[in-house]
Structure 1
Amino acid sequence: MVISPQEEPSPLLREDDRETAVQRLQEAYADERVSHEEMEERLDQVLTAKTHSELASALASLPGENPDTTSTIAAAGGRIHRGGTWRVPRILKVESAYGRVDLDLSRAVIEHPAVDIELQLGTGGAKITVPRDAIVEVEGLHTGWKDLRYKPPRRARSGGPRIRISGAMGFGRLKIRHARR
């Protein structure tokens, strides 16, 4: 995980963090990657966790996950939202014909030194929140109607992941911001 304990974004978990973690455990159980007993034990850890690091340790080392694969999030219409504690794959493809995209990586589990996010968006904007110490590269992104809004931090922090954003956007604006904590 990129965030060190002294830089943990928030001492208290939000309800959506817990819900995301519970969903991930349920998916692992449904895919028979964890036993019933292990799922119950980890579920108890998730429900009693008070910090993000406790939550991450309950989800750590779920068997059968290959974090090097490419994952795709797609929707024909509507909103795409990922936030809270979620595992970011090495390559993430986001496809949407109509609707907004909101990716919050500020509390996500990022296990790779570099993450590639490929956007294929028609109509609708996108907002990406990256960790405070992330290095953002926006090369190979083609915008049709509106331009990119990104202001790099004045003082670059070291040790963070490299987030590379590419792809194409039709009629929407991409806003990228660094998390404040």
Structure 2
Amino acid sequence: MTFPQKDPSALLSQDDREAALQRLQEAYAEERISHEEMEQRLDQVLTAKTHGEVASALAALPEENSAPTATIAAAGGRIQRRGAWRVPRSLKVGSAYGRVHLDLSRAIIEHPAVDIELQLGTGGAKITVPRDATVDIEDLNTGWKDLRYKAPRSPHPGGPKIRIFGTMGFGRLKIRHARR
């Protein structure tokens, strides 16, 4: 995430402050700055009044890494992730014949957005997302079976955005929000 360049003397908006805080938290989560350095820079951002003061808090941050990506693949059998597993920023899931079950309800999600790419043949998939997550399935191509997903009537703000895309062959994809 790149912080927008603005006039250094311009007053800081709440959105700009939140973007700077998120940039620092991401740098810390990716272990590019120490805990002490993060606390010092967070204090600077929280007390800043202008863009120039925020820019000095973000100056000299190490370059952002490309999004961490993980791949889970199997020709047949079952692919399953549940419990307190660490979800990467980008996850590729491939299976020719097996079933896939991804449970993100208790997973450790350190990124504001997670991309899940599905490349599935004949097996079905079930994905459980956190209760406060928003789900984007616009770029998902389903083949033979339909998609089962019902967005919550009253979304809970503040959760991660889960983008699910790719290709489903002959299996059905079920997406549901965790109840707790």
TM-score bucket (shorter structure)? 0.5 to 0.7
2:118: which partner in 1?
119
CA distance in structure 2 between the partners assigned to 1:67 and 1:179 by the alignment: 29
2:132 pairs with 1:133: yes
Question: For residues 72 and 161 of structure 1, do their structure 2 counterparts lie closer, same or farther at Cα, with a shift above 3 Å needed?
Answer: same
The structure number with the bigger radius of gyration is 2
1:94: which partner in 2?
93
One-letter amino acid of the structure 2 residue matched with residue 111 of structure 1: E
- Report the TM-score, using the length of structure 2 for normalisation: 0.63
Question: For residues 124 and 79 of structure 1, do their structure 2 counterparts lie closer, same or farther at Cα, with a shift above 3 Å needed?
Answer: same
Moved over 4 A (4+): none
CA distance in structure 2 between the partners assigned to 1:93 and 1:129 by the alignment: 16
1:171 aligned counterpart, secondary structure: coil
2:17: which partner in 1?
none
Q: Tell me the matched-pair count.
A: 116
One-letter amino acid of the structure 1 residue matched with residue 109 of structure 2: I
What is the RMSD computed on CA atoms of the aligned residues?
Answer: 1.2
Question: For residues 179 and 67 of structure 1, do their structure 2 counterparts lie closer, same or farther at Cα, with a shift above 3 Å needed?
Answer: farther
CA distance in structure 2 between the partners assigned to 1:73 and 1:85 by the alignment: 17
Question: For residues 180 and 67 of structure 1, do their structure 2 counterparts lie closer, same or farther at Cα, with a shift above 3 Å needed?
Answer: farther
CA distance in structure 1 between the partners assigned to 2:96 and 2:121 by the alignment: 5
Question: For residues 118 and 147 of structure 1, do their structure 2 counterparts lie closer, same or farther at Cα, with a shift above 3 Å needed?
Answer: same
Deviations 1:74-95 (A, max 9, x none): 0000000000000000000000
Deviates more, 1:67-76 or 1:171-180: 67-76
2:132 aligned counterpart, secondary structure: coil
By relative contact order (CA 8 Å, sep 6+), the higher-ranking structure is 1
- Percentage of pairs with the same residue: 79
Deviations 1:103-131 (A, max 9, x none): 00000000000000000000110000000
Where do residues 15-164 of structure 1 align in structure 2 (5 Å cutoff)?
Answer: 68-164=67-163
- Report the TM-score, using the length of structure 1 for normalisation: 0.63
1:67 positional shift: 9.2
Deviations 1:38-86 (A, max 9, x none): xxxxxxxxxxxxxxxxxxxxxxxxxxxx893110000000000000000
CA distance in structure 2 between the partners assigned to 1:68 and 1:88 by the alignment: 12
Unaligned runs of 5+ in 1: 1-65
Unaligned runs of 5+ in 2: 1-64
